[in-house]
């Protein structure tokens, strides 16, 4: 069992699961970023005569790729089927696997950004043949490469830190939460009545992690879990936890196919 995540937040600042769903959906909507990156790609192309050509062409292609990736992810978000992320293990219960597409795209984008300096120099040498442009591309590229490196290293969800297991598990004995970079799951027995107390507000910029706060009998403070990668609405998680808290006699059903279908119906309800 992993250590209790016991960070507190003033109750007045927490938002309800349904409100958190709205905020999270708005913050993670990739339609606007897709449009922004595609427009920015055109702008950098137009600026190629005013700024170092290597930098202009690098960021034009870079933003074009980000725009295409954002558009693709936006479409997959709209077509997402929640049930594909829910796994039933006969005799044990159900688990929810995280979706990592957006996390992976961000990490790849940082990685390409780190390579800005050498790529910009290669473009400058092959395309413009300008010594001054090469020097300017080198200096500017190094600045951007350094910036992307620090962004990459400050990211909490670097790919090699992410576990390969489920983000949430429901079993007849307990409910387990495991944020993407937790080494082990935090298991809360049902007899301790785990309760979702609320979520931290999520601004439109999306720079705030979707933090969920859970209370349990005997714990001095609410436990904090980063729900980045959760593939289903946060309110559905709250609904299933509440359902089993109010109907403990139904817990044994989680190990059966019938119980799993019932739990999946709650989790995937629109």
Is residue 2 over pLDDT 50?
no
Q: Helix count (H) and strand count (E) of the chain?
A: 8, 8
Q: Name the pLDDT band for 50 (thresholds 50, 70, 90).
A: confident
Most confident region among 77-86, 128-137, 188-197, 224-233 by mean pLDDT: 188-197
Locate 219 and state its tokens. Answer: 């714990």
On whether the CB atoms of residues 137 and 101 are closer than 8 A, the answer is no
Q: pLDDT > 70: what percent of the chain?
A: 91
The 10s digit of each residue's pLDDT in 68-109 is 999 999 888 777 766 677 787 767 888 889 988 888 999 999
Nearest CA-CA partner of 227 in 254, 196, 251: 196
Residue 68 has what pLDDT? 96
The Cα–Cα gap between 111 and 100 comes to 16
On whether the CB atoms of residues 260 and 88 are closer than 8 A, the answer is yes
On whether the CB atoms of residues 259 and 197 are closer than 8 A, the answer is no
Residue 49 has what pLDDT? 80
> ∠ at Cα 72 (77, 208), nearest 5°?
55
| Mean of pLDDT over the chain | 85
Residue 25 has what pLDDT? 81
Q: Name the pLDDT band for 231 (thresholds 50, 70, 90).
A: confident
Nearest CA-CA partner of 240 in 99, 93, 22, 24: 93
pTM, entire model: 0.80
Contacts by 61-66, CB closer than 8 A, 24 or more apart = 62/112, 62/113, 62/116, 63/37, 63/38, 64/37, 64/38, 65/112, 66/33, 66/37, 66/109
Residue 83 has what pLDDT? 65
Q: Name the pLDDT band for 188 (thresholds 50, 70, 90).
A: very high
């Amino acid at each position: 069992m992993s250590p209790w995540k016991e960070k507190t937040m003033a109750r007045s600042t927490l938002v309800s699961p349904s409100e958190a769903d709205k905020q999270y959906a708005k913050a993670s909507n990739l339609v606007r970023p897709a449009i922004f990156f595609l427009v920015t790609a055109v702008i950098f192309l137009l600026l190629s005569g005013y700024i170092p050509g290597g930098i202009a062409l690098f960021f034009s292609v870079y933003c074009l790729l980000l725009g295409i990736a954002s558009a693709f992810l936006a479409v997959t978000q709209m077509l997402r089927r929640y049930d594909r992320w829910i796994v039933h293990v006969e005799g044990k219960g159900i688990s929810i696997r995280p979706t990592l597409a957006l996390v992976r795209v961000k990490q790849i984008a940082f990685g390409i950004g780190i390579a800005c300096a050498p790529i910009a120099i290669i473009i400058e040498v092959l395309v413009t043949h300008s010594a001054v442009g090469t020097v300017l591309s080198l200096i500017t590229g190094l600045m951007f490469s350094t910036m992307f490196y620090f962004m990459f290293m400050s990211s909490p969800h670097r790919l090699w830190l992410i576990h390969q297991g489920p983000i949430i598990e429901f079993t007849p004995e307990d409910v387990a939460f495991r944020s993407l970079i937790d080494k082990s799951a935090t298991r809360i027995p049902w007899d301790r009545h785990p309760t979702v107390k609320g979520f931290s507000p999520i601004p439109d910029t999306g720079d705030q992690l979707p933090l969920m706060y859970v209370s349990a009998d005997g714990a001095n403070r609410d436990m904090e879990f980063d729900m980045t990668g959760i593939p289903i609405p946060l309110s559905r998680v709250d609904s299933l936890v509440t359902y089993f808290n109010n109907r403990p006699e139904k817990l044994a059903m989680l190990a059966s196919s019938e119980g799993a279908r019932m739990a999946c119906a709650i989790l995937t309800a629109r």
